[in-house]
C-alpha cells in the first residue's frame, strides 16, 4: 500500500474518531498540532487504526511515534 | 449495539430534559473511557448521568475517609471497579503461604467498603466481579489447588454473589459473564493495558456500560414486566392453521427442540414474575389447541395472562393487552419471527421493545440471552403469583359487566384487606412495589430494602402495608403508605402508592379511613399530602382533592377531626 493512501485512510480515521471534519494530516503533523489528540484519545485512535487496517501494534510501537509520518511507516510494515 | 465512538458522540447531545442521576466511579485502573461510555449509554437510556470520577486508584481513601470528595459529591450510585489484573498483582506479591487467603481478604475489604458507603450515603453500590484470568501456573490442576490464582478468583466471584444476596444495597455488574460471551480477546487488549492502565477494551465498553445502565434503570423503576408472544414459528415451528396440531414442530419433531427449549426459558421468566401474553394472527380456538392438547407444549393456557388470537392488526391487539394489564408500553417486550409484523408494531408503538429475532429459531435463545432484557433489582415469592392475579383481573372485568350497580358489584367481591406495618417479611415486596409503581404514585419516591429498614428504625415514620383479597383470589400486597411526623400536630404522607390492579375497588377510601383512624388515636390533627407530577402519574393529579383534602401552599391538608368515614366494601382482616 502506498504511503499516500495510508495517510488518506488515517486522516479519515482521525476525523471520525475525534469527530472533527477539519483535521488535515501530513507526515510532519504531531499531537501538538491536532486539537484533542491527547494521550487518552491517542489510545482510541490507535485502536481505530488497528481495526481499519486489521493490524496490531506492539506496546512499544504505540508510544514510539514522533509524528504521523512515523506512524504511517509503522503501518506500512504491517499491511 | 452502538460502538464506543458512537457513544462518545452522544456526549455532545442535549441532556437537559433527562433525569439526572449522580454516579461516583471509582477504579483501581484508568476509568476515563468507562466514564465516557457510561454517560453516552445513559443518554440512550434517558438518563443524564452526572459522573464524578475518582482519581486513579483511590478507592479505599475515598471510601474510608468520610471527609473525602466522594461524600461531598453525595452520589445516588457508586460504581466500584477493582480489576482482575490488579488482583493478580496482589496475589503475586503474597507470601506463598498466604495465597489461600486472597479471596477472603478481598471479601472482607469489599464488605467493609460497602458497609461504610451504606452507613454514610443513601446510595446503591454496583461492584464489578472479576473477569477470569487463568495464569497457567498450575495448569488444569489449578481447579484442585486452593492456592492457585484461578481457584481464588472463582471463589471470590462466587462469594461475591453470596455477599450481594445478603446486602440489599449491593449489586454486581457481571463482568465475568460478559467476558464469557464476548471472549477474552475482545475484552482485553494487552498493548493498550501496558500503555494506558486501561483493562477494558474499547470494543467491550458499550456492552459493559449497558449492563451498568440496566441496573441503574431498574433501580429507577424502568424495567420489563411483560412478554408478548407470537405463536407460529415463534413458540412452535410451522403454522398451526395449515400444518395442524400433529405437524407443528415441537419436542423431537423437526427442529422442535429449539422451540421446546425456548418455551422452557419463557416459563422460567413467567415463574420469575414476567407476565406472558399471546398476540397471534389466528383463529382463537385453533391457536389454543396446542396449549390444551399438544404433549410437548411447555407453556399452558394458565401461564398466559392475556390471550389474543384474531385477524385484527397486531398494533391494536397489543394496545388491548396493554389496557387489560394496565402497564406502560415501555415495560413490554414483543417477540415475533416475522420482520414485517415487527416493523409495523415498532412503527405503531415506538415505546415497545421489539427484538430483531434471528432468522434461525436455533439462535433465538443465545440472541435473547445477550440482550439482558429482564434486569431487575428485586425478586420476591409473590412475583410467581402475578399471572394468576392478572387472570383474575380479566375475569373480574367480565363479571363487572353483569352488574348494573357499582356498589352491588363491589359488595359481591367479598373484599378483605390485611393492614400491617412494614416488617421483615413484607420489606422485599414493599421495596419492589415502590420501584414498580409509576401511575398510582403520588410522590414517586423509590425505596430500596435498605431504605425501608432505615425507616423501620426511625420513630418519626409510621408505615402501612395493605393486602387485598377477593372471591377471585389474593392480590397480595398492593398498597403502601409511609407517614412522617411533620409538625407537632401533622402527619406528612411521604408515600401513597397503589398497584393499578386494584383500581376502582374503593381501596383509596379504605386506606384513608385507616390512616385517619391512626392519626386520631395518636393525637394528630392534620394529614398533609403532596402530588409531585411525573410523566406517568397524571392519574392521581386530583387524588387528594377527590378525597376532600384542601389545597394550601402547594400541599393538600385534611382536618382529621372533621373527617367522616368514607363508605367502602373492604373489610379489615
Residue ranges of domains in chain A: 3-76
B307-320 pLDDT per residue, tens: 999 988 999 999 99
CA–CA separation, B499 vs B540, rounded Å? 12
pLDDT at B199: 96
pLDDT digit string, tens, across residues B122-134: 999 999 999 999 9
Name the residue in chain B with its Cα closest to that of A14: B5
Q: Grid coordinates in use for B497?
A: 402508592
Q: Which residues contact A77 (CB under 8 A, 6 or more apart)?
A: none
Residue B479 φ then ψ, to 5°: -150, 140
CA–CA dist B357, B368 (Å, integer): 8
Q: Is the dihedral of CA B261, B267, B269, B272 positive or negative?
A: negative
Mean pLDDT over B15-38 rounds to 96
Residues B462/B453, Cβ–Cβ less than 8 Å: no
- Is the pLDDT score of B234 beyond 70? yes
- Confidence class for position B302, pLDDT limits 50, 70, 90: very high
What does each C-alpha distance from B404 to B238, B415, B569 come to in angstroms? 46, 19, 17
pLDDT value, residue B265: 98
- Cα distances (angstroms) measured from residue B549 to each of A8, B81, B506, B546: 72, 49, 17, 7
ipTM over 0.90: no
Name every chain B residue with its beta carbon within 8 A of the beta carbon of A62. 191-192, 195
Burial class (CB in 10 A: 0-12, 13-18, 19+), B121: buried
pLDDT top residue among B403 and B425: B425
Cα–Cα distance, B104 to B101 (Å, whole number): 6
**Distance between CA atoms of residues B43 and B18, nearest Å:** 8
With a cut of 70, say whether residue A45 has pLDDT above it: yes
Pairing verdict, β B332-335 and B415-417: unpaired
The answer on pLDDT for B380 being more than 80 is: no
- Inter-chain CB proximity A43 and B189 less than 8 Å: no
Longest dimension (CA), chain A: 30
Spell out which residues of chain B touch residue A48, defining contact as CB-CB under 8 Å.
5
E-only strand ranges, B225-323? 226-229, 275-281, 304-310
**Per-residue pLDDT at B323:** 87
Q: How far is CA B27 from CA B31, B63, B240, B487, B556, in A?
A: 6, 12, 54, 44, 46
State residue B507's pLDDT score. 94
Residue B185 confidence (pLDDT) above 70: yes
User: What number is the average pLDDT over the span B155-169?
Assistant: 95
B35 chain-A contacts, CB cut-off 8 A: none
- The answer to whether the CB atoms of B196 and A17 lie below 8 A apart is no
Mean pLDDT computed over B198-211: 97
Please give the full DSSP string across B419-471, using - where no structure is assigned: EE---TTTHHHHHHHHHH--SSBSS-----HHHHHHHHT-TTEEEEEEEEEET
Cβ contacts of residue B557 below 8 Å, gap of 6+? B526, B527, B528, B529, B549, B550, B551
* pLDDT tens sequence across B343-354: 999 999 999 999
Tell me the mean pLDDT in the region B356-377.
Answer: 96
Q: What DSSP assignment string belongs to B140-158?
A: GGGGG-TTSHHHHHHHHHH
Mean pLDDT on B57-66: 94
**Average pLDDT of chain B?**
93
Q: Which residues, in sequence order, are CB contacts of A55 under 8 Å at separation 6+?
A: A49, A75, A78, A79
Full-model pTM: 0.79
Contacts of A39 in chain B (CB under 8 A): 196
Put simply, the chain A residues between 12 and 71 with a CB less than 8 A from any chain B CB are 16-17, 19, 39-40, 43-44, 46-48, 56-59, 62-63
pLDDT recorded at residue B389: 79
Give the confidence band of A67 by pLDDT, cuts at 50, 70, 90: very high
Q: In 3-state terms, what secondary structure has residue B358? A: coil
Q: What angle do CA B131, B159, B99 make, to 5 degrees?
A: 75
Given a cut of 80, is residue B401 above it in pLDDT? no
Please, which pLDDT band fits residue B412 given cuts at 50, 70 and 90? confident
| Residue B61 Cα distances to B26, B129, B257, angstroms | 11, 21, 54
Best mutation target among B53, B195, B203 (most A Cβ atoms within 10 Å) is: B195
Specify the pLDDT at position B408: 84
Q: In B327-448, where does DSSP find H-type helix?
A: 339-348, 364-371, 386-400, 406-412, 427-436
- What's the angle, vertex CA B366, arms to CA B360 and CA B371, rounded to 5? 115
Closest CA to B113 of B82, B157, B69, B88: B82
C-alpha cell at B495: 408515600
Residues in chain B within 8 Å Cβ distance of A63:
195
**Strand B415-417 relative to strand B275-281: parallel, antiparallel, unpaired?**
unpaired
| pLDDT of B405 | 77
Q: Classify strands B461-470 and B473-487 as parallel, antiparallel or unpaired.
A: antiparallel
**pLDDT tens across B258-271, in order?**
999 999 999 999 99
Residue B262's contacts (CB-CB under 8 Å, 6 or more residues apart) are: B235, B361, B364, B365
Chain B interface disruption, residue of A36, A59, A78, most B CBs within 10 A: A59
C-alpha span between B321 and B528 (Å, rounded):
37
B32 touches chain A (CB under 8 A): yes
Q: Are A62 and B201 an interchain contact pair (Cβ–Cβ within 8 Å)? A: no
CATH of A3-76, one of 1.10.1200.10, 3.30.70.100, 1.10.357.10, 3.40.50.720: 1.10.1200.10
For chain B, give the percent of residues with pLDDT over 70. Answer: 99
pLDDT in tens, B451-483: 999 999 999 999 999 999 988 788 889 999 999
B119-122, Cβ contacts within 8 angstroms, sequence gap of 24 or more: B120/B66, B120/B71, B121/B71, B121/B74, B121/B75, B121/B78, B122/B76, B122/B451
| For residue B236, pLDDT beyond 70 | yes
Size of interface A-B (CB pairs under 8 A): 38
Question: Has residue B398 got a pLDDT over 70?
Answer: no
Q: Which residue does chain A place closest to B30, by CA atoms?
A: A40
Q: Is the pLDDT of residue A53 over 90?
A: yes
In the predicted structure, residue B355 carries a pLDDT above the cut 70: yes
Exposed/middle/buried for residue B297 (C-beta within 10 Å: 0-12, 13-18, 19+): buried
Look at residues B207, B232, B289, B256 and name the one whose alpha carbon lies nearest to residue B4. B207
- State the pairing for strand pair B461-470/B419-420: antiparallel
Q: Is the pLDDT of residue A38 over 70?
A: yes
- B7 Cβ neighbours under 8 A, 6+ residues apart: B36, B37, B40, B41, B205, B206, B209
Nearest CB to B192; choose among A16, A19, A43: A43
Q: What are phi and psi of B231, to 5 degrees?
A: -110, -70
Task: Summarize the confidence of residues B363-370 as an average pLDDT.
Answer: 96
Cell of B191: 498493548
Which residues are CB-contacts of B500 (< 8 A; sequence separation ≥ 6)? Answer: B326, B327, B437, B439, B440
First to last CA, chain B: 51
Please give the distance of CA A46 from its chain centroid, rounded to a whole number. Answer: 7
Tell me whether residue B178 is exposed, middle or buried, using C-beta atoms within 10 angstroms of its C-beta: 0 to 12, 13 to 18, 19 or more: buried
Tell me if B238 sits within 8 A of B463, measured CB to CB: no
Q: Does B188 touch chain A if contact means CB atoms closer than 8 Å? A: no
Amino acid at each position: 500500500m502506498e504511503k499516500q493512501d495510508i495517510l488518506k485512510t488515517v486522516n479519515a480515521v482521525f476525523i471520525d474518531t475525534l469527530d472533527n471534519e477539519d483535521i488535515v494530516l501530513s507526515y510532519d503533523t504531531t499531537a501538538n498540532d491536532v486539537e484533542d489528540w491527547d494521550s487518552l484519545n491517542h489510545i482510541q485512535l490507535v485502536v481505530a487504526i488497528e481495526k481499519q487496517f486489521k493490524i496490531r501494534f506492539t506496546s512499544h510501537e504505540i508510544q514510539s511515534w514522533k509524528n504521523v509520518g512515523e506512524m504511517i511507516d509503522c503501518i506500512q510494515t504491517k499491511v | 449495539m452502538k460502538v464506543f465512538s458512537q457513544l462518545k458522540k452522544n456526549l455532545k447531545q442535549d441532556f437537559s430534559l433527562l433525569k439526572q442521576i449522580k454516579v461516583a466511579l471509582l477504579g483501581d485502573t484508568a476509568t476515563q473511557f468507562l466514564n465516557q461510555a457510561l454517560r453516552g449509554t445513559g443518554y440512550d437510556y434517558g438518563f443524564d448521568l452526572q459522573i464524578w470520577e475518582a482519581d486513579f486508584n483511590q478507592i479505599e481513601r475515598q471510601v474510608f475517609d468520610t471527609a473525602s470528595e466522594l461524600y461531598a459529591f453525595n452520589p445516588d450510585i457508586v460504581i466500584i471497579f477493582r480489576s482482575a489484573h490488579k488482583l493478580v498483582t496482589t496475589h503475586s506479591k503474597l507470601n506463598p503461604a498466604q495465597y489461600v487467603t486472597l479471596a477472603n481478604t478481598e471479601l472482607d475489604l469489599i464488605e467493609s467498603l460497602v458497609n461504610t458507603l451504606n452507613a454514610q450515603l443513601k446510595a446503591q453500590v454496583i461492584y464489578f466481579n472479576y473477569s477470569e484470568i487463568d495464569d497457567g501456573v498450575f495448569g488444569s490442576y489449578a481447579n484442585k489447588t486452593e492456592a492457585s490464582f484461578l481457584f481464588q478468583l472463582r471463589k471470590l466471584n462466587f462469594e461475591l454473589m453470596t455477599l450481594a444476596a445478603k446486602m440489599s444495597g449491593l449489586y454486581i455488574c457481571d463482568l465475568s459473564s460478559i467476558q464469557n460471551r464476548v471472549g477474552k480477546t475482545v475484552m482485553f487488549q494487552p498493548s493498550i493495558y501496558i500503555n494506558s492502565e486501561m483493562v477494558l477494551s474499547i470494543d467491550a465498553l458499550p456492552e459493559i456500560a449497558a449492563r451498568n445502565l440496566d441496573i441503574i434503570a431498574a433501580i429507577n423503576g424502568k424495567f420489563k414486566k411483560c412478554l408478548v408472544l407470537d405463536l407460529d414459528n415463534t413458540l412452535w415451528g410451522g403454522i398451526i392453521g395449515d400444518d395442524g396440531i400433529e405437524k407443528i414442530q415441537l419436542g423431537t419433531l423437526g427442529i422442535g427442540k429449539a422451540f421446546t427449549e425456548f418455551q422452557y426459558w419463557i416459563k422460567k421468566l413467567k415463574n420469575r414474575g414476567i407476565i406472558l401474553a399471546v398476540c397471534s394472527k389466528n383463529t382463537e380456538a385453533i391457536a389454543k389447541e396446542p396449549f390444551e392438547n399438544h404433549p410437548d407444549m411447555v407453556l399452558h393456557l394458565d401461564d398466559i395472562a392475556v390471550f389474543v388470537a384474531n385477524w385484527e392488526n397486531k398494533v391494536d391487539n397489543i394496545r388491548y393487552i396493554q389496557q387489560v394489564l394496565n402497564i406502560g408500553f415501555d415495560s413490554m417486550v414483543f417477540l415475533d419471527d416475522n420482520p414485517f409484523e415487527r416493523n409495523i408494531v415498532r412503527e405503531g408503538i415506538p415505546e415497545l421493545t421489539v427484538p430483531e429475532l434471528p432468522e434461525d429459531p436455533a439462535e433465538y435463545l443465545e440472541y435473547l440471552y445477550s440482550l439482558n432484557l429482564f434486569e431487575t433489582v428485586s425478586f420476591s415469592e409473590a412475583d410467581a403469583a402475578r399471572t394468576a392475579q392478572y387472570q383474575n383481573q380479566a375475569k373480574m372485568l367480565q363479571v363487572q359487566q353483569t352488574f348494573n350497580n357499582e356498589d352491588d358489584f363491589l359488595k359481591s367481591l367479598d373484599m378483605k384487606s390485611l393492614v400491617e406495618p412494614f416488617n421483615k417479611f413484607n420489606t422485599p415486596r414493599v421495596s419492589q412495589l415502590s420501584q414498580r409503581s409509576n401511575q398510582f404514585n403520588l410522590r414517586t419516591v423509590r425505596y430500596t430494602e435498605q431504605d425501608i429498614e432505615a425507616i423501620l428504625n426511625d420513630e418519626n415514620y409510621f408505615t402501612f402495608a395493605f393486602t387485598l383479597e377477593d372471591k377471585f383470589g389474593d392480590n397480595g400486597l398492593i398498597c403502601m403508605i409511609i407517614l412522617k411526623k411533620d409538625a407537632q400536630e401533622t402527619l406528612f404522607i411521604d408515600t401513597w402508592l397503589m398497584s393499578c390492579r386494584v383500581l376502582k375497588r374503593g381501596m383509596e377510601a379504605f386506606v384513608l379511613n385507616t390512616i385517619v383512624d391512626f392519626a386520631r388515636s395518636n393525637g394528630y390533627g392534620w394529614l398533609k399530602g403532596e402530588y409531585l407530577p411525573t410523566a406517568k402519574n397524571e392519574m392521581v393529579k386530583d387524588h387528594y382533592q377527590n378525597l376532600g383534602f384542601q389545597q394550601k401552599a402547594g400541599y393538600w391538608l385534611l382536618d382529621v377531626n372533621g373527617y367522616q368515614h368514607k363508605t367502602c366494601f373492604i373489610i379489615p382482616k
